[in-house]
Amino acid sequence: MIHGKNYIGFDLSAESSITFQTFSPVNLQELPGIFVQATLEEMEMAISKAVSAYEHYKTKSGKERAAFIRAIADEIELLGSSLIERACAESGLPEARILGEKARTINQLRLFASVLEDGSWVDASIEPAQPDRKPLARPDIRKMLQPVGPVVVFTASNFPLAFSTAGGDTASAMAAGNPVIVKVHPYHAGTNELVSGAINQAARKTGMPDGIFSSLNASDFSIGQGLVLHPEVKSVAFTGSFAGGKNLYNLAQKRQIPIPVFAEMGSVNPVLLLPEKIAENPATLASTIAGSINLGAGQFCTNPGVLIALKTPETDVFKEELAVQIRKLLPEPMLHTNISNNFERKTKAFFDDSRVDKLAESVKEPEGLRGRPVVALVPGEDFIANPGLAEEIFGPFSLLIECIDKSEMQKVIKSFGGQLTASVMGTSADFTAFRMQIESMQEIVGRLIFNGMPTGVEVCYSMQHGGPFPASTDGRFTSVGADAIKRFLRPVAFQNAPEDYLPDELKNANPLCIWRRIDGGLTKDQIKE
Ligand code: NAP
């Protein structure tokens, strides 16, 4: 039974008269549950609880925090089919996708728990004192990462679980030692409610303070903007549109004390199709690409929105194969009326441009909120003259850019802004012949994929999910994988600190047995007194 209230720490609250409902994009019906928008007073209360919770939570050991994060994963598992049914209903995504997302959410949480248990994530670094150094004695300097304070998470519409209430942003911010306040995405407020309950249940069971987690309902900008502007909020994580991310970033920079906004925004994820690969097996290549374009109705930040190839007879064959595959695709439900309307409006406007042709679209007329898969075609020269064509169209859309030669291909690549990913489909001879073009792609992305599609992001230590602006507001960081924790930490150096003041991570005896850099070398050794 959905109660529709806000979680202000462990308390439920519903003071406002403003309410909203979620909606099934499949049968176009409103779903049960009336959600009460948070008031500014409830927002203040959530922040005030987060500030108090931070004082307790930051003193918890890595093992204690790990137990909490593992308990969240366990509580989400216990939600069983109610979570799956609600997430499917609110997103229109098929059960298999939601089950996969749930597994990924749980694995992410457990990954951060194991990062905490290992302990070395604090990047401890020690240069012991050298009192006899000439001409100046060296002081004792020890540095490590520490949490920043309350973090606000804007959940993503396109991943109701894995980039949402207990997704990578929340898991990494909490693992780092920070309380989290979630600004609920109004498309999946019911899913949020179930997961928020699981987080607070895990907090109670593992002795975490009231206020370690809150979630605030809102279907307009008041609460989101109020959170970003609040002086006690220290950092923000966001996944969504360029306009939304950039607005929130600008807001945070105008504060008296600016704070970071880690926004993951739009990306067209160019795919370079090299000539030998195209000639090798055009049908298989076309079917792989078509499948990736329509995966989840194209509603992935890693959707292959641009394909780049040389204009050759082999490319003509590939184009025919791709057209066959695209025509066969079935329109899938999109997440919401707004997203579906945006997709329709933007594709229509795209084809109003006389330089653009339609290669193919699904032969099936879309019903309801389904997005019709479509591929456009433009000559390289026209693309270079009109960089607006590189703007993301969120949905099952891709643009094939045909270049007359390698030099034009190079110019096309250089005309892109920052991207989350780029892919290169080629043979080893292609990789040698087009090395310069591939290196140019590397300059603009966070992840370069060889002979694979950009959709599907592994959650692991080595993943980079974030690229130069405008893909992300800060391409030095990732929102997926173990390093996502680094967004919510800051380094502190201790100079000549007494041994008993130092955190365990920096004590001579290395009681946590973590990896530390001592005089520049990585070791688990103790420091002899
Ligand atoms: P969105 O419009 O950017 O909204 C995301 C969240 O941020 C929502 O909670 C929204 O609040 C809030 N928000 C947006 N602008 C704000 C502002 N100026 N001030 C305060 N809060 C603000 O994204 P969306 O709703 O997920 O989808 C809309 C479009 O975003 C899609 O059509 C697509 O183009 C793009 N998108 C891209 C990605 C990607 O990974 N590249 C992922 C998802 C969506 P409200 O909902 O209350 O308005």
Per-domain residue ranges for the chain?
6-15+35-134+145-265+478-487, 271-450
CATH of 6-15+35-134+145-265+478-487, one of 2.40.50.140, 3.40.605.10, 2.60.40.10, 3.40.50.300: 3.40.605.10
Residue by residue, pLDDT tens for the chain (529 residues) are 899 999 999 999 999 999 999 999 988 999 999 999 999 999 999 999 999 999 999 999 999 999 999 999 999 999 999 999 999 999 999 999 999 999 999 999 999 999 999 999 999 999 999 999 999 999 999 999 999 999 999 999 999 999 999 999 999 999 999 999 999 999 999 999 999 999 999 999 999 999 999 999 998 899 999 999 999 999 999 999 999 999 999 999 999 999 999 999 989 999 999 999 999 999 999 999 999 999 999 999 999 999 999 999 999 999 999 999 999 999 999 999 999 999 999 999 999 998 999 999 999 999 989 999 999 999 999 999 998 999 999 999 999 999 999 999 999 999 999 999 999 999 999 999 999 999 999 999 999 999 999 998 999 999 999 999 999 999 999 999 999 999 999 999 999 999 999 999 999 999 999 999 999 999 999 999 7
249, 268 contact by CB (below 8 A): no
Q: Tokens for 280?
A: 């090798």
CA of 76 to the centre of ligand 1 (A): 25
Residues 6+ apart with CB under 8 A from 267: 301, 302, 305, 392, 419, 420, 421, 467, 471
Determine which residue's CA is closest to atom 13 belonging to ligand 1: 244
Q: Cα(58)–Cα(176) distance, rounded to whole angstroms? A: 9
Instruction: Judge if the beta carbon of residue 216 lies within 6 A of ligand 1.
Output: no
Helix (H, G, I), strand (E, B) or coil at 332: strand
pLDDT score at 387: 83
Identify the bridge partners of residue 292 per DSSP, sorted by sequence position: none
Instruction: Judge if the beta carbon of residue 247 lies within 6 A of ligand 1.
Output: yes
CA of 290 to the centre of ligand 1 (A): 26
Q: Which helix (H) or strand (E) holds 374?
A: strand 374-379
The one-letter amino acid code at 363 reads: V
95, 84 contact by CB (below 8 A): yes
Residue with tokens 């918890």: 60
Q: Cα(224)–Cα(137) distance, rounded to whole angstroms? A: 51
CATH 3.30.1370.60 fits 271-450, yes or no: no
Q: Cα(449)–Cα(453) distance, rounded to whole angstroms? A: 7
Sign of CA pseudo-dihedral 44, 50, 56, 58? negative
In this structure, the number of other CB atoms found within 10 A of the CB of residue 80 comes to: 9
CA of 284 to the centre of ligand 1 (A): 35
Phi, psi of 377, deg, nearest 5: -135, 135
Range list of H helices, 415-502 = 428-433, 435-444
Cα-to-chain-centroid distance, residue 131: 47
Mutation pick for ligand 1 pocket among 152, 157, 233 (CB with most ligand atoms within 8 Å): 157
Q: Tokens for 244?
A: 């939304």
Determine which residue's CA is closest to atom 44 belonging to ligand 1: 240
Q: Cα(431)–Cα(450) distance, rounded to whole angstroms? A: 9
Ligand 1 atom at shortest distance from the alpha carbon of 186: 46
264, 465 contact by CB (below 8 A): yes
Q: Tokens for 462?
A: 């080595």
pLDDT score at 90: 96
Q: Cα(201)–Cα(374) distance, rounded to whole angstroms? A: 45
CA of 256 to the centre of ligand 1 (A): 25
Radius of gyration of the chain measured on its C-alpha atoms: 25
